[in-house]
Amino acid sequence: MNVLELSILLVLVSLLAGFLGALTGLGGGAVIVPVLTLAFHVDMRYAIGASLVSVIATSSGAAAAFVREGFTNLRIGMLLEIGTTLGALGGAALAAVAPTQALAIVFGLALLHSAYLNTRPQQDRTDFGGSPDRLATKLRLDGTYPAADGSIRPYHVRRVPLGFLVMGLAGVLSGLLGIGSGAIKVLAMDRAMRLPFKVSTTTSNFMIGVTAAASAGVYLRRGYVDPGLAMPIVLGVLAGSMFGARILRATQSRVLRQIFAVVLALLGLQMLVNGLRGGM
């Protein structure tokens, strides 16, 4: 297989990954690394570099659409980005010294966790009232969001330090594995800080690009970003996710989410097994 044939194959795979990632809201990055390493035998470090760059592309593209819907909380996003970018710098530094087997094991576990989160039903709470949190008030984090019935409802933000800590962890995983780690970002805002689910998901998407940019600088300087590999993957994932986002509104993606979760779980298991066997 020469460079041209490999590039065409990679564009096709990335198109599909970006398409499914956008349609299910799970992101395409999580699939790119296992497919590159398991099916194409690409070195883990090159795979992580290419994946991370594609994550910046899709999140910036998606954020452009989401930020106009009025759900994104820009103050929370900016404040928590201190946590995610510091975490991402740490994660990228860790990736440089960690053996690839260890990376594969952590990757496998992260995929399994992501698949598990996906099988749980998402219920949108409606109780965002109560007494305001002192720190959140001081930082003026509370906001409003458009509820399902069209009215504008206020919400109070809680447990800011815990949210910040979980965001730091999301940043470490993003920098270590070259993924967006959107699932953990949503977890931090939805569960820890008690934000409305829609605010959590859109603010998370908004933050992914900045988080990934922090570790991309480190990857670039360490020579992890191979242009020949990054090119088909960035273009494929970007085109796929734009197409996926376009038809997102027209489809009921519940079944698709579950299928994708199974795919993630299988890839996670395979990564885990390979990592434990030392075959990466």
Partner 1 sequence: MVFEGECEMGASVAPWSEERVERILARLLRIGVSTAAAIVLAGGVLYLVRHGGEQPRVEVFRGEPRALRNVAGILSAAASLQAQGIIQLGVLVLVCTPIARVIFTVFAFARARDYTYVVVALVVLGILLFSLLQGR
Kindly list the residues in this chain that would bind partner 1 in the complex (CB under 8 A).
Answer: 1-4, 6-7, 40-46, 53, 56-57, 60-61, 63-65, 67-68, 70, 72-75, 78-79, 81-82, 85-86, 88-89, 92, 139-140, 143-144, 209-210, 212-218, 220-232, 234-235, 238
The candidate with the shortest Cα–Cα distance to 177, out of 239, 238, 111, 240, is: 111
Angle between helices 100-119 and 254-277 (to 10 degrees): 160
Contacts of 200-205 with CB under 8 Å at 24 or more apart are: 201/25, 201/71, 202/66, 202/67, 202/69, 202/71, 202/72, 203/71, 203/72, 203/73, 203/76, 203/77, 205/59, 205/62, 205/63, 205/66
Give 93 or 117: the residue with its C-beta nearer to partner 1. 93
Give 109 or 239: the residue with its C-beta nearer to partner 1. 239
Give me the least distance between CB of 262 and partner 1, in Å please: 28
8 Å CB contact between 225 and 233:
no
Give me the least distance between CB of 58 and partner 1, in Å please: 9
Give me the least distance between CB of 118 and partner 1, in Å please: 26
Give me the least distance between CB of 21 and partner 1, in Å please: 16
Give 8 or 262: the residue with its C-beta nearer to partner 1. 8
Give 111 or 218: the residue with its C-beta nearer to partner 1. 218
